[in-house]
Structures are given as C-alpha cells and as structure tokens.
Amino acid sequence: MKTLEEMRAALRKMQDALPELKEKAFGDAGTETDLKALEDSCAEIEKLERQIEARVASEAASARAAKASTSAISTAVTTVPGMVKSPLAPPQGMTGEDVLCKTMAAQLIAKGSRQPVLEVLVEQGYQALADVLGSVTVNGKAVNTLVPAEGGLLVPTPVSGGIMPLLRLESTFINASPVRVPLTNGQFVLARGLAGATASYIAEGALKPVSTPTFDSISMRAKKLAGIVPITDEAVKWTIGDIEAYVRNDLKNALALTLDLNAWLGTGAGASPLGILNKPGVQTVTPTFAAPTNPTLAELDNFATAMILKLVTVNIFANSRWRWVMPYRSAMKLSNIRVGASTDGDKAFPEMNLGLAGGPNWKGFPVIITSQLPTTGGGTTDETTIALIDFSHVLFGEEEGITTKQSDVATLNVDGGSTLVHLWQQNMIAILAEAMHDFGLRTTKAVVKATIRW
C-alpha cells in the first residue's frame, strides 16, 4: 500500500503532465487519441484526489482513536524499580522534539557505556523523562526497563508527538518573516493581476472608462530539501545535551545555508526551487558609479534613492516589512565609509554597525546580511547582488515542517560516489532531516535588485 506522501507525489507528477497533454489535445494537430489521453488523465487525477482525501480522513480518525485509548494505556502501566508511574505525556517544559532528541542521544551513550538508556537519562539529570519512558507498557508488560538490553527504546506516539519537528531553520530568509502559506497536495496556485483596472473623473453624461485587466498566477510546488548527519561512536563520551545540540545545530546549519542560497538565487533547474531574486518580472536598477568598486557617498545616496523609488512608483509603499538584502562584503563597506578627507572621520552610516541591537539598517530599513549572495560573479569575478524587498509580498509555502528519522543499520552513499558507509558495521548513527517547501511572490514588483561590485 502506498504511503500518503507517495500518493501526493504521484498526484503532483500527473498534474505536472497536464499542460503537455492539453497542448496536444487542443492543438491544431490534436487527435481523438490525444483528447482521450487528456480525459483519462483528468479522471485519474480526480480519482487520486478522492483517495488522498479519504486517506487523510482515515488517518485522522485513527489518530483520534489512538488518542482516546491513551488514558487506558496510561492507567495500565507497570512500575519499574526506581521509577514512578507517569502519564504518557512529555515532562513539563519538554516538547515531543526534545523527548526524541534526548532519547536518541541517551541511546547513543548507552551503546558505548553498556548501560540501560533509562539509567543514562537519570544519571544526566533527566529523571522526569526516564519516569515517563519507564511507564511504557505493552500488554501489561513494561518494555523500557533498567535492565541492559540490545535494541532501541520505545518512545510512544503520545510522548513523541509522532514525527520530530526540529526548531525552525536558522535562515536569513525565514527570519525576514515571509508570508507562510500551506502547500495543499504539494502545491499552491493563486491568480493575480498584472495590469489592473483604471478609473477617471468624467463629465455628466460622458462614457465611463473601460479597462482590460490582465492576469497570471502564483504557482508554487513543493521541493524537497534533505540532509544527513552521521555520528561516530566517539560521541558516546559526550553528554546528552552535547549530542542533542550537535545533531540540531549541524542539521539546521546545513539546511539553513542551502535554503538561503535557493530562496535568494535558486535557478529552478531540476529539483531546485526558483529564488525570489530570479523570478521573472522583478525590477532592476543599474548603478552609475564612476569607480564601480569604490562609489562616493553621493553616488551611494543616489543609488539607494533609486532603489526606493523603484518600489514606491509602482505603489509598493514603504512599510515595516521592507528589507535590504546584501552580502557581508557590501555591509562591511557601508559600515566602514567615513565622512571627510581623513580616513579617521566620522562614519557616514553608523546605523550599519553589525553589532547594533536589533541589527543594522540603511536609509531607515532593516538590513539582512547573508553569506549566500556570491561576491565572485560576472566577467570581473567580483560582482554581487543587493536587493530591496517588501516581505509582505514574499511567500514561503510549506507542505510540512522539518522532520527527522534516525537509523544505525542503513548504508550511506557518500556524496553520490562509490564510497559506502555501513552504519551498523562502523558503529554509527545517521540522522536524516527533510523539509518540503517553495518560494513565491504576490507581485514581482515588490523586489528590486542591482548588480554591484562593492
């Protein structure tokens, strides 16, 4: 039986094939066979959509049934020596994510020290969590005990909360607070106007103006971002907190950097998303610097004014959601520019100090500084991009949050090459994290960008 994700992937594949089928069926050379293929595809899509709806409804019903039986399981627990009966819920102050991270860390330590997992948790100050896990029973028998045993530790669904969502990605793009929208069945499609209606004052009895608005659509489709972190047996010497921090931080860092690069400058090629700075229709400004790598203060002021006017003249009015986006090189140069003949003069843009509380700002708008805007582009190999964006028009579509899985028996193909890592044989654990999302714009006029050399 296919999983829900596999069904949704099949639906997306069929939907992606529709435009080509429509072009064949309704083209000048279209045949009855082409029309029949389109009709069959539409019927299959409708059938699969109904199946997905039914699958979602059935899984929701199963979840409600499991929740209803939780209290019965909780009252039938078996007390483990040294443990206290506890309800099957995360200890106070812990999320399901915390429970799973700490449990996996304790498992890793237990493998190296040959201690029971619960004993490791107790020794390292997680008594409350050990109490909850020690209360888990199956058919009236405790499954997690203080007796050393091979194998894993059962973290029941009411405690784990199902999948393990990591903390939100530490991404400059996400931290700019784009508008978050759900991707239903892996996609989000919304019509939008390109050229709007017009109005004018008219004389008595005169004809009222008629306009012809034009439209296109916002179309986002889920793209999968994935990363794997293997941990060696040396980690058994660490504390639970250290392992937990390592897994979270390493994964978050890797995922966040990749997300940032593609959110800003994704090419849309293959499985990659199209970044908002590469969306067709975004506005551009061409700087007019006499010395491209060393603009004067007056030239910088004119450049910033041109960027701002590009937005306001298309009715994208200044608001608290405007953000500059630039690489560290540009931010540092703005921060270091001084007024006067001497290089020891006052700073021209003291508000660009990277250490300011609340972050730097330029011309009254906050600045996002990212390492994911390359500074080695163009024929001169020193070009980069600076942008001004109204994030109230930027969309971040998510089909799911960040989920992780862990295994100590899988085989990893390192970097797609011939090198294989056998986790069980090499006493390692691998943590897999995945996220499904895409990026969009309500209106492409809300982004203005420039290619610069400073």
Q: Which residues pair with 124 in a beta bridge?
A: none
CATH for 165-194+213-454 is 3.30.2400.10
Higher-confidence position of 91 and 26: 26
CA dihedral (299, 305, 306, 308) in degrees, to 10, reads: 150
**Closest to 166 (Cα-Cα) out of 92, 91, 86, 104:** 104
**Cα–chain center distance at 111:** 33
Percent of all residues in the chain with a pLDDT value above 90, rounded to a whole number: 25
- What type of residue is 327? P
Per-state percent for the chain, helix, strand, coil, to nearest 5 = 40, 25, 40
- What type of residue is 370? T
**Closest to 412 (Cα-Cα) out of 388, 396, 429:** 429
State yes or no: pLDDT of 452 exceeds 50.
yes
DSSP string, 61-80: HHHHHHHHHHHHHHHT--PP
Q: String of b and e for 319-357 (b: at least 16 CB within 10 Å)?
A: eebbbbbbbebbbebbbebeeeeeeeeeebbeebeeeee
What predicted TM-score, i.e. pTM, was given to this entire model? 0.61
State yes or no: pLDDT of 281 exceeds 80.
yes
Q: Burial-class residue 118 by CB neighbours within 10 Å (0-12, 13-18, 19+).
A: buried
Most confident of 97-106, 211-220, 307-316: 307-316
Q: Token pair of 281, please? A: 């229709």
- pLDDT at res. 80: 35
How does pLDDT run across 33-87, given as a tens digit for each residue? 888 888 898 888 888 888 888 877 776 676 555 444 433 333 333 333 333 333 4
Higher-confidence position of 170 and 24: 24
Q: Which residues pair with 347 in a beta bridge?
A: 338
How does pLDDT run across 175-191, given as a tens digit for each residue? 888 988 888 777 776 65
Considering Cα of 152, then 158, then 162, then 167, what sign does the dihedral take?
negative
CA atoms of 321 and 442, how far apart (whole Å): 14
